[in-house]
């Protein structure tokens, strides 16, 4: 069942499963855990845990029948697919020094995944590597992945960090589990069907260390019962840090799996769900011992804040690579203009900037005698023209507007808008490239919105440099300056999407993305700044810079899949517009810029560098 009835969901993360023991009767297993308890799926072993290939005697050259949990006929294909995640036998160790165990492990792993694929399961849970060395295990999994259809493999990894003095940590195991995951997935070549299932233990690493995982392909959070506390009424609950982690996972479409024994069995205490309680709905079935844990996870889900209107609009675009617009080379379509025009916050800021510029340009004593010449270069379908005229009305200043637009299709809409609004005596429409137009007079104010997501990625500096020749020497450019920023990120999904093209071109392409499943590894830093108008004699838009980023010491190692790009613009004086995280304009509908890394290197928690040129 969904974790509580919510009008607005948070994605696919509304579901909770339970880890079970091996059971020959799969129908009974599902009935007890799903029908009576309310879990949505089980993570169940597919094969008898006592099975070892080396102990099976082959008779009459006939392959032995595998001791699986029921035939494929006991459930329909849709039931297998929707309600069962296969759990690969936890005893397997493909990097063991024991050759028999190693051979048994490889044989069993391939047999179980083949059976799971036959059942059309959506995912299988792979056991965590037994030690720091997992090369053979990863090699075998990579080999399996090459012939796998659509099934996902979830590698089970404990959420551990080396500087934690956690009682859950086995001293013989690698302390920073991210290192273990990274070495495994590198051997598997970042395969898109290899994902993560994180074991959430009673002790959590630092917030910075946890943040790394949000950029990795985490599909499930296995919440161990010993990570729970008990409240005053005897029911299970989680610490504030665990609550924050689980609700964070919900936002990233990570499903929760309850694992382990209930608290009353671990500590000898009595909880609110007594073992002998009879469920009133079934009238016969014993209440599931982990039902209280499911109810608590459902409670965490239900109390999450609903999605905002902007989040609902962006939901389908999250982590989706889009080539940046090139409005100078291509004529934009109506749908693109409509998307821009939905961003009311941006045009409110532009109107504020134009108001301030008009007030500075024309004193109160001259408002009846002076007409300000304002040119909107790249007018599109007219939102900046409208903002300019509204600013004139608000300030009581007289305005003459030139709307310059190179897209002939948008010019049609501009003419219709001018006629509809009755602006014929105020607005002159110019169908021309701003760099080629010979203006009949000089402008007092030059207004444009050519910034893109990185400030300069839609040729704003080049276009405005070409247009500033028809701006008066004391004229005002809106925007007056803008700065680009970059920030190193872990973004496994985006990296795999780029890698799927199997060429260098896509790694050399920057993309516009609504970032979601990413980990931001260090604060952003400024890259290039442009000022307008720029009357310097040696001006050039070629730029070169070298940056270093300091990753917090407690983060541990991380993989930089690319860089997120932002901009921050000063429209006029103190009127600001931007998407750089620390100073972002609230509720502005604008997406980040992503620059992929072609050759990946894991970074330790120390300075990392990048060189950019433009």
Per-range mean pLDDT, top range of 44-58, 337-351, 366-380, 535-549: 366-380
Taken in order 383, 385, 389, 391, the sign of the CA dihedral is: positive
Is 405 annotated as contributing to ligand binding? yes
* 3-40 b/e (C-beta count within 10 Å ≥ 16 → b): beeeeebbeebbbbbbbbebbeebeebbebbbebbbbb
**What pLDDT, on a 0 to 100 scale, did the predictor assign at position 175?**
73
Is 346 annotated as contributing to ligand binding? yes
Q: Which residue intervals of the chain bear CATH 2.70.160.11?
A: 481-613
Q: Which helix (H) or strand (E) holds 153?
A: strand 152-158
Average pLDDT over residues 125-135: 92
- CATH 3.40.50.150 given to domain 334-449: yes
Whether 292 contacts 316, CB under 8 Å: no
Report the distance separating Cα 402 and Cα 189, nearest Å. Answer: 55
Token duo for residue 475: 């004229």
**What pLDDT, on a 0 to 100 scale, did the predictor assign at position 450?**
86
Confidence grade of residue 275 (pLDDT, cut at 50, 70, 90): very low
At 358, phi and psi to the nearest 5? -65, -40
Report the distance separating Cα 515 and Cα 320, nearest Å. Answer: 8
**What pLDDT, on a 0 to 100 scale, did the predictor assign at position 85?**
96
**What pLDDT, on a 0 to 100 scale, did the predictor assign at position 55?**
87
Q: Count CB-CB contacts under 10 A for residue 59.
A: 8
Query: What pairs with residue 471 in β-bridges?
Result: 443
DSSP state, 343?
-
**What pLDDT, on a 0 to 100 scale, did the predictor assign at position 565?**
93
β-strands 592-596, 511-513 pairing: antiparallel
Is 539 annotated as contributing to ligand binding? no
Is 434 annotated as contributing to ligand binding? yes
**What pLDDT, on a 0 to 100 scale, did the predictor assign at position 178?**
94
Q: Which of 496, 485, 459, 150 is nearest to 321 (CA)?
A: 496
**What pLDDT, on a 0 to 100 scale, did the predictor assign at position 163?**
61
Where in the sequence numbering do the catalytic residues fall? 449, 458
**What pLDDT, on a 0 to 100 scale, did the predictor assign at position 58?**
60
Helices then strands, counting H and E runs in the chain, come out as: 17, 26
- CATH 3.20.20.70 given to domain 16-53+67-307: no
Report the distance separating Cα 567 and Cα 530, nearest Å. Answer: 11
Q: Is the pLDDT of residue 148 over 70?
A: yes
Q: Is the pLDDT of residue 162 over 70?
A: no
Q: Is the pLDDT of residue 70 over 90?
A: no
Average pLDDT over residues 202-208: 93
pLDDT above 70: percentage of residues in the chain: 87
**What pLDDT, on a 0 to 100 scale, did the predictor assign at position 171?**
45
Report the distance separating Cα 8 and Cα 11, nearest Å. Answer: 9
pLDDT, one tens digit per residue, over 368-424 is 999 999 999 999 999 999 999 999 999 999 999 999 999 999 999 999 999 999 999
Q: Which helix (H) or strand (E) holds 43?
A: strand 41-45
Average pLDDT over residues 547-575: 93
Whether 486 contacts 612, CB under 8 Å: yes
In the block, residue with structure tokens 């209440």: 287
Average pLDDT over residues 18-30: 93
**What pLDDT, on a 0 to 100 scale, did the predictor assign at position 346?**
93
Is 433 annotated as contributing to ligand binding? yes
Of 122-136, 146-160, 275-289, 381-395, minimum mean pLDDT range: 275-289
Confidence grade of residue 598 (pLDDT, cut at 50, 70, 90): low
pLDDT, one tens digit per residue, over 419-443 is 999 999 999 999 998 888 899 999 9
Of 197-201, 305-309, 587-591, minimum mean pLDDT range: 587-591
Q: Is the pLDDT of residue 537 over 70?
A: no
Q: Is the pLDDT of residue 273 over 60?
A: no
Average pLDDT over residues 175-200: 94
DSSP string covering 513-557? EB--S-EE-S--EEEEEEESS---TT-----EEEEEEE--GGG--
At 428, phi and psi to the nearest 5? -110, 125
Q: Is the pLDDT of residue 174 over 80?
A: no
CATH of region 481-613, choose from 2.70.160.11, 3.90.1150.10, 3.40.50.2300, 3.40.640.10? 2.70.160.11
Q: Which residue intervals of the chain bear CATH 3.20.20.150?
A: 16-53+67-307
Q: Count CB-CB contacts under 10 A for residue 371.
A: 15
Taken in order 596, 597, 600, 601, the sign of the CA dihedral is: negative
Is 5 annotated as contributing to ligand binding? no
Residue 400 DSSP SS3: strand
Confidence grade of residue 15 (pLDDT, cut at 50, 70, 90): confident
Report the distance separating Cα 103 and Cα 105, nearest Å. Answer: 5
**What pLDDT, on a 0 to 100 scale, did the predictor assign at position 600?**
59
Q: Which residue intervals of the chain bear CATH 3.40.50.150?
A: 334-449
Average pLDDT over residues 536-544: 78
Token duo for residue 392: 């004139």
Q: Which of 298, 222, 227, 232 is nearest to 262 (CA)?
A: 227
Of 171-180, 192-201, 234-243, 537-546, minimum mean pLDDT range: 171-180
DSSP state, 134?
-
DSSP string covering 377-397? ES-TTSHHHHHHHHHHHHHT-
In the block, residue with structure tokens 């300030």: 395
């Amino acid at each position: 069942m969904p974790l509580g009835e919510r009008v607005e969901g948070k994605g696919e993360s509304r579901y909770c499963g339970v880890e079970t023991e091996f059971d020959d009767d799969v129908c009974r297993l599902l009935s007890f855990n799903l029908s009576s308890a309310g879990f949505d799926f089980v993570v169940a072993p597919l094969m008898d845990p006592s099975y070892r290939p080396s102990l099976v005697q082959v008779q009459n050259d006939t392959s032995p029948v595998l001791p699986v949990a029921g035939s494929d006929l006991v459930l329909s294909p849709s039931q297998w697919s929707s309600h069962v995640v296969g759990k690969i036998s936890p005893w397997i160790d493909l990097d063991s020094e024991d050759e028999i165990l190693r051979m048994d492990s490889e044989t069993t792993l391939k047999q179980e995944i083949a059976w799971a694929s036959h059942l059309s399961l959506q995912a299988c849970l792979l056991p965590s590597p037994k030690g720091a060395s997992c090369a053979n295990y990863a090699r075998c999994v990579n080999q399996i992945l090459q012939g796998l259809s659509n099934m996902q493999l979830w590698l089970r990894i404990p959420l551990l960090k080396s500087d934690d003095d956690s009682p859950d940590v086995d001293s013989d195991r690698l302390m920073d589990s991210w290192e273990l995951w990274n070495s495994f997935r590198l051997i598997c070549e970042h395969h898109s069907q290899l994902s993560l299932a994180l074991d959430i233990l009673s002790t959590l690493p630092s917030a910075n260390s946890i943040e790394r995982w949000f950029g990795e392909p985490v599909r499930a959070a296995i919440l161990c019962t010993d990570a729970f506390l008990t409240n005053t009424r005897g029911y299970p609950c989680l610490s504030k840090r665990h609550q924050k982690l689980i609700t964070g996972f919900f936002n990233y479409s990570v499903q929760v799996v309850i694992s382990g024994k209930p608290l009353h069995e671990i500590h000898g205490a009595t909880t609110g769900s007594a073992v002998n309680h009879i469920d009133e709905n079934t009238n016969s079935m014993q209440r599931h011992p982990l039902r209280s844990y499911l109810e608590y996870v459902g409670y965490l889900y239900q109390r999450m804040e609903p999605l905002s209107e902007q989040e609902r609009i962006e939901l389908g675009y999250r982590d989706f690579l889009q080539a940046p617009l090139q409005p100078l080379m291509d004529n934009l379509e109506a749908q693109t203009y409509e998307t821009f025009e939905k961003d009311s916050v941006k045009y409110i800021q532009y109107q504020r900037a134009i108001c301030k510029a008009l007030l500075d340009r024309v004193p109160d004593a001259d408002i009846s005698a002076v007409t300000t010449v304002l040119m909107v270069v790249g007018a599109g379908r007219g939102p900046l023209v409208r903002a300019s005229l509204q600013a004139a009305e608000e300030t009581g200043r007289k305005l003459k507007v030139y709307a310059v637009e190179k897209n002939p299709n948008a010019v049609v809409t501009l003419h219709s808008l001018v006629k509809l609004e009755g602006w014929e005596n105020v607005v002159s429409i110019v169908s021309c490239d701003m760099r080629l137009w010979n203006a009949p007079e000089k402008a007092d104010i030059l207004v444009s919105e050519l910034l893109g997501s990185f400030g300069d990625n839609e040729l704003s500096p080049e276009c405005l440099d070409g247009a500033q020749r028809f701006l008066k020497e004391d004229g005002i450019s809106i925007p007056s300056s803008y700065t680009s920023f970059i920030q190193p990120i872990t973004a496994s999904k985006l990296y795999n999407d780029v890698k799927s093209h199997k060429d260098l071109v896509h790694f050399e392409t920057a993309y516009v993305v609504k970032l979601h499943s990413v980990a931001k590894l260090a604060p952003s830093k400024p890259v290039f700044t442009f000022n307008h108008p720029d009357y310097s004699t040696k001006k050039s838009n070629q730029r070169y810079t070298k940056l270093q980023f300091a990753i917090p010491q407690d983060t541990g190692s991380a993989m930089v899949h690319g860089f997120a790009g932002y901009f921050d613009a000063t429209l006029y004086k103190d009127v600001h517009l931007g998407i750089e995280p620390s100073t972002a304009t609230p509720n502005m509908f604008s997406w980040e810029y992503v620059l992929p890394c072609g050759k990946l290197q894991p970074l330790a928690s120390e300075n990392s560098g990048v060189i950019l040129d433009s």
